[in-house]
Amino acid sequence: MKFIFILLLLIPSISFAENFLADSNKLFDFAEKSYPQFFNHAGTKTVALDEYLARYYPDTDIYIGTKDHEVYVYGNAFNGLLKVGLISDFVTVEPDGDTLLAKVFAEARSNVQVYGTGTVVAILSDDLNGSRHQRFVIELKSKQTLLISHNIDLAPRINELFLNDQIEFFGEYEWNDKGGVIHWTHHDPAGIHENGWLFHNNAIYQ
């Protein structure tokens, strides 16, 4: 927490960038592979703290965090807080998901892992048949709509969800003639399927 408090004091508020969680995870994974002497616990979970995303490594007592695609590290090894650049200085940032989503929709493809960001345009009742799913519709910048079907037996429900909210997602695309469905927005308890997530109001749901 001290890492976050220091950042809040030193850095003005900046709005979130598209694919903020996706790009942050990619950066954190890169740091773990490239600098294990500092970030030495692969698999550490990303957490949302205030306006930041961060991972903490207890063996070295080091944090790595991002805010609006800027990268920070904190710990004695760095003499406190250090800004080290932008995410794009270290990894290729995820492209706008609208292009891929338009392509898989036009080609009627399914079972495709996708990132994206959209605006909530409809909130539906939960699907309670079998595994329970929270359901809502988002609209991309391209105006393509997607039904988000979020398994709330395996991941937390977004309780404070409203029209016009922004949602970042990573999940599996399934085609339908209305734009498509995104599911697998949660961890896989069996460890077979790639873990998905939703990112809403700086909280991670997976």
pLDDT digits (tens, 9 = 90+) for 9-19: 333 333 344 78
Judge residue 39's burial from the number of C-beta atoms within 10 Å of its C-beta, 0-12 exposed, 13-18 middle, 19 or more buried: buried
Structural domain boundaries of the chain? 2-89, 97-205
Model pLDDT, residue 7: 37
Among residues 37, 43, 47, the alpha carbon closest in space to that of 77 is found at 37
User: How many other β-carbons are positioned within 10 Å of the β-carbon of residue 130?
Assistant: 7
Model pLDDT, residue 77: 93
Of the pLDDT bands very low, low, confident and very high (cuts 50, 70, 90), residue 1 is very low
| Mean pLDDT on 116-122 | 96
Cα 104 from Cα 41, distance rounded (Å)? 36
| Mean pLDDT on 138-161 | 97
Model pLDDT, residue 9: 32
Would you state the structure tokens that stand for residue 34, as one six-digit string? 């490239």
Model pLDDT, residue 49: 82
| Mean pLDDT on 135-139 | 98
Q: Which CATH number fits domain 97-205: 3.40.50.620, 3.40.50.720, 2.40.50.140, 3.40.1350.10?
A: 2.40.50.140
Among residues 73, 48, 47, 75, the alpha carbon closest in space to that of 61 is found at 75
- Output the pTM of the full model: 0.81
| Tens-digit pLDDT profile for residues 44-56 | 889 998 788 999 9
| Tens-digit pLDDT profile for residues 55-67 | 999 999 999 999 9
